[in-house]
Amino acid sequence: MTENNTVYIGRKPSMNYVLAVVTQFNSGAEHVTIKARGRAISKAVDVAEIARNRFLKGYDLGDIRIGTENVEDDEKEGGINVSWVEIVIRKGV
């Protein structure tokens, strides 16, 4: 049984995503990955911090991965670079 406990950050309010993270843990997940690209990166950090500090006492940050990918764009030859982040929250040991 494979589980994909991933929350993708978009344009909704931060608390919607915090609720999604907490719900994943309440469903028995061992870890949850928060993913965001571009301007949503700061919201992803906010979601991780709000979830850990207000709702998930005893949970730790796992891996934090960052990178840049090239996305095709009709207006720019060669596309544009978009940064991304993945933040893993896991149950404390």
The residue to which tokens 């690209």 are assigned:
37
Residue 76 to residue 35: CA distance in whole angstroms: 26
pLDDT value at 2 more than 90:
no
Total domains in the chain come to 1
- What CATH number does the domain containing 41 carry? 3.30.110.20
Q: What is the average pLDDT score of the chain?
A: 93
Q: Which segments within 1-93 are labelled E, that is strand?
A: 6-8, 31-37, 59-71, 80-91
φ/ψ (deg, to 5) at 32? -135, 135
Residue 20 to residue 8: CA distance in whole angstroms: 10
Q: How confident is the model at residue 92 (pLDDT cuts 50, 70, 90)?
A: confident
pTM: 0.90
pLDDT value at 17 more than 50:
yes
Q: Is residue 1 part of a domain?
A: no
pLDDT tens digit sequence for 68-81: 999 998 988 889 99
Q: What is the pLDDT of residue 4?
A: 84
pLDDT value at 87 more than 60:
yes
Q: Is residue 84 part of a domain?
A: yes
In Å, the largest CA–CA distance within the chain is 49
Q: Which domain holds residue 73?
A: 6-91
